[in-house]
Amino acid sequence: MVGAKPWNRANGICKELYYNKSMSCLDLSKRIKKSLPHTSLRLNELIAKGAVVENGYAPSTGGRKPLMYSLAGDFMFTLAVAVDQFVVRMVLMDMQRQMASQVHEATINFYENIGYAKALADEIENYVSASGVDKDQIAGIGIAMPGFIDADKGINYTIAGSAPIVPIISEKLGIKVYVDNDSSVIGLAEQKFGAAGKIKNAMVINIGWGVGLGLILDGRLFRGTNGFAGEFSHIPMFSNNKLCACGKHGCLETESSLTVIVEKAKERLRNGELSSLTSKEIENDNIERSFRSVKDAALKGDKLAIGLFSEAGYNIGRGVAILAHLLNPELIVLSGRGASAGKIWEAPIQQALNEHCIPRLSENLKIIVSKLGHQAELLGAAALVMEGFDENDMDSYVESYRKKMAV
């Protein structure tokens, strides 16, 4: 194309190196579907600009060892933001997916704050200003958050006021902003960096204050017609007359979320059940701290705490059985905040599958706990930026990088 920036010709190289960390020229050419000479030429252009570095030779079983390439770690950064109903976490990550700053946490009222988007924009701006990283070196801000999100318009319809997240934050900071549902983002993280990388059909269960779902179908992250797919929490499963956050009754979330585990722990201690847990540990306004106490007790073998996780896990398993009948996946990944409880989830979910799923559908369905855990959302938010990254914009990052190196 006449007048196109040279980076357009290198389209895809940066993304492949970001996701794979280190690749040979031959492997890169296969992934971007360009000839070897073409790929080599573009790599040399990127090396000359400082965006790519050579990092030695790969092991070889015979013949000439291939030279490996990777992105310069501090060439540019992504800002990953993970939002839940109670806490906002954010961190700057370099091009080697390493944290370039400490994870920052803030509390903003998700449901009631009509000015949520503005408050979030202010928090992000203050964090960037304190980080010491020039805004011109930030490729984008990726935001993972609960709710019904129109990723194209950048609107979260669940937040008070149907907040236009992307327009407000991008205008304030002058940085590209990408937003998507937290469970879809966690699904993206598991696909790019986790257990679902080579799996064509997988269900990524986001166990948190709700129970979300990232769907990987035929090797692609499935978001549905409006981007609202994966509202696993709100499958109507119980006749318990419990009001869900969505306004309906009897949703899966009302018997299986981490919030429910904490509330049931409080109730049972009040009723005098024996446990190593104490009311003092969980009777507070900090639900994160309360959940950690219940989880730690379960991992130490406390019968009450283990029972609470087993109940929630069994209910999640019933929901998974429904999805297994519909979608016939080959893998279930247990991810998100709740994954920190580890294998304690596996047995009750498997029990529910044994009881409620046709054996031919469940016998080869594998359940694993994510190794990414609570960091999956931040990694996915960073990946969200790279998914939307336009290598036509590379020149601006090159210039910022050169100025930084010249100082």
Residue 7's pLDDT band, with cuts at 50, 70 and 90, is very low
Q: Which residue has the higher pLDDT, 200 or 63?
A: 200
Q: Which residue has the tokens 């999640």?
A: 316
The amino acid sitting at 389 is F
Residue 190 lies in a domain: no
Same domain, 219 and 266: yes
Q: Over pLDDT 90: what percentage of the chain?
A: 67
CATH code of the domain in which 60 resides: 1.10.10.10
Same domain, 225 and 252: yes
Residue 403, pLDDT above cutoff 90: no
Domain of 361 in residue numbering reads as 195-371
Same domain, 343 and 264: yes
List 335's β-bridge partners, or say none.
206
| Candidate from 33-47, 102-116, 223-237, 297-311 with smallest mean pLDDT | 102-116
Residue 145 lies in a domain: yes
pLDDT for the residue numbered 11: 55
Residue 59 lies in a domain: yes
- Summarize pLDDT for 53-107 with one digit per residue, the tens: 998 888 766 667 889 999 998 889 999 999 988 889 999 999 999 999 889 998 8
pTM here is 0.90
Residue 264 lies in a domain: yes
CATH code of the domain in which 205 resides: 3.30.420.40
Same domain, 51 and 113: no
Same domain, 317 and 217: yes
Q: Which residue has the tokens 């020149």?
A: 395
pLDDT for the residue numbered 109: 72
Residue 359, pLDDT above cutoff 70: yes
Mapping DSSP to helix (H, G, I), strand (E, B) and coil, where does residue 230 land? coil
Angle at 155 between CA 152 and CA 161, to 5 degrees: 165
* Mean pLDDT calculated for residue range 303-316: 97
Alpha-carbon distance of 136 to 399, in angstroms, equals 9
Same domain, 218 and 349: yes
Same domain, 360 and 215: yes
Residue 307's pLDDT band, with cuts at 50, 70 and 90, is very high
Please report, for residues 32, 104, 141, 385, the alpha-carbon distance to residue 389 in angstroms, rounded to integers and kept in the order given: 15, 24, 11, 6
Residue 143 lies in a domain: yes
Residue 10, pLDDT above cutoff 50: no
Alpha-carbon distance of 205 to 130, in angstroms, equals 35
Give how far the C-alpha of residue 145 lies from the chain's centroid of Cα atoms, to the nearest Å. 10
pLDDT for the residue numbered 225: 87
Residue 189 lies in a domain: no
In the DSSP assignment, the letter for residue 114 is T
pLDDT for the residue numbered 157: 87
Same domain, 239 and 309: yes
Q: Is the alpha carbon torsion for 299, 303, 308, 311 positive or negative?
A: positive
Please count the structural domains in the chain: 3
